[in-house]
């Protein structure tokens, strides 16, 4: 599997889940490298914004920001070794994130099987941008999908970021929770359109402020929370950003 590299090893770390219905729960995170999207505000840009790619990023405006040499930010690991590293934390909740984990679902399915062989009650969350339908075996193995379709504020053409068959699949899956990143009040109209088009239940939609710092979150969170209250959506903060900012591995 191609995983994000952190220091000399893979980005596998013990922390608390900062987003979604599992927010606050201790969890081991394992981060896939590679993504089929390129959101302009992505905070894990080191999983896809490689040298030689044409994609823009908001950070291009920051002096000194540069695309990443692929070899410096990627590490290959087989599923058995990934399972061994995850199991070493002894934590019964694992979050497979990215990047886009469904690009490497065979490897992660192998890893999940190995972990469950040692820890049968382990709970697996998978974070996905909802542009791929998981295989039946993978869908069966995962306890919870944290589905994050991208709105226009991510800076890509709709045909790239919205895959109707995949969105219908997740909307019909009771263990899928939809998390939309909101930047402005105008984003709500898009969320409502997607909710109606794909019949996503209100109770499985979370709205999360866009922001890579507590200050950025604070600009959006108050009005977004009020909109959630008034419209019937769940509000979702970014606890890990508030606790640790953009620090990796915590």
**Considering beta carbons, is residue 47 or 176 the nearer one to ligand SF4?**
47
What is the residue-wise DSSP string for 166-209?
HHHHHHT-TTEEEEEEESSTTHHHHHHHHHHHHT--GGGEEEEE
Can you tell me which of 1, 12, 28, 39 binds ligand SF4, judged by CB under 6 A?
39
Question: For the window 120-139, what string marks contact with ligand SF4 as x by the rule CB under 6 A?
Answer: ---------x----------
Residue 155 near ligand SF4 by CB under 6 A: no
Smallest gap from residue 179 Cβ to ligand SF4 (A): 11
- Considering only residues 43 to 62 of the shown chain, the ones binding ligand SF4 according to CB under 6 A are 44, 47-48
Question: What is the size of the binding site for ligand SF4 (CB under 6 A)?
Answer: 12
Smallest gap from residue 183 Cβ to ligand SF4 (A): 13
Smallest gap from residue 77 Cβ to ligand SF4 (A): 19
- Considering only residues 62 to 121 of the shown chain, the ones binding ligand SF4 according to CB under 6 A are 98-100
What b/e readout covers 25-50, taking b as 16+ CB neighbours within 10 angstroms? bebbbbbbbbbbbbbebbbbbbbbbb
List the one residue out of 31, 42, 21 whose CA is nearest residue 237. Answer: 21
List the one residue out of 126, 77, 86 whose CA is nearest residue 103. Answer: 126
Residues engaged in binding ligand SF4 (CB under 6 A): 35, 37-39, 42, 44, 47-48, 98-100, 129
């Amino acid at each position: 599997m191609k995983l994000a590299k952190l220091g000399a090893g893979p980005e596998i770390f013990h922390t608390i889940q900062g987003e979604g219905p599992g927010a606050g729960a201790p969890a081991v995170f394992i981060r896939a490298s590679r993504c089929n999207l390129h959101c302009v505000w992505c905070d894990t840009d080191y999983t896809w914004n490689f040298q030689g790619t044409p994609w823009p990023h908001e950070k291009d405006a920051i002096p000194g920001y540069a695309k990443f040499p692929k070899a410096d930010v990627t590490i290959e690991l087989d599923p058995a070794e990934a399972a061994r590293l995850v199991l070493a934390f002894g934590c019964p909740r694992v979050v497979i994130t990215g990047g886009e984990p469904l690009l490497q679902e065979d490897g992660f399915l192998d890893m999940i099987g190995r972990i469950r062989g040692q820890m049968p009650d382990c709970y697996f969350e998978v974070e996905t941008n909802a542009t791929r339908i998981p295989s039946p075996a993978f869908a069966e193995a995962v306890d919870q999908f944290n589905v994050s379709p991208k709105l226009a504020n991510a800076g890509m053409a709709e045909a790239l970021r919205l895959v109707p068959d995949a969105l219908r699949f997740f909307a019909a899956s009771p263990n899928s929770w939809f998390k939309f990143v909101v930047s402005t009040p105008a984003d709500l109209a898009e969320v409502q359109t997607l909710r109606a088009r794909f019949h996503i239940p209100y109770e499985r939609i979370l709205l999360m402020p866009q922001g890579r710092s507590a200050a950025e979150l604070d600009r959006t969170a108050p009005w977004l929370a009020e909109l959630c209250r008034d419209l019937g959506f769940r509000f979702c903060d970014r606890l890990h950003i508030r606790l640790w900012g953009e620090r990796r591995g915590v």
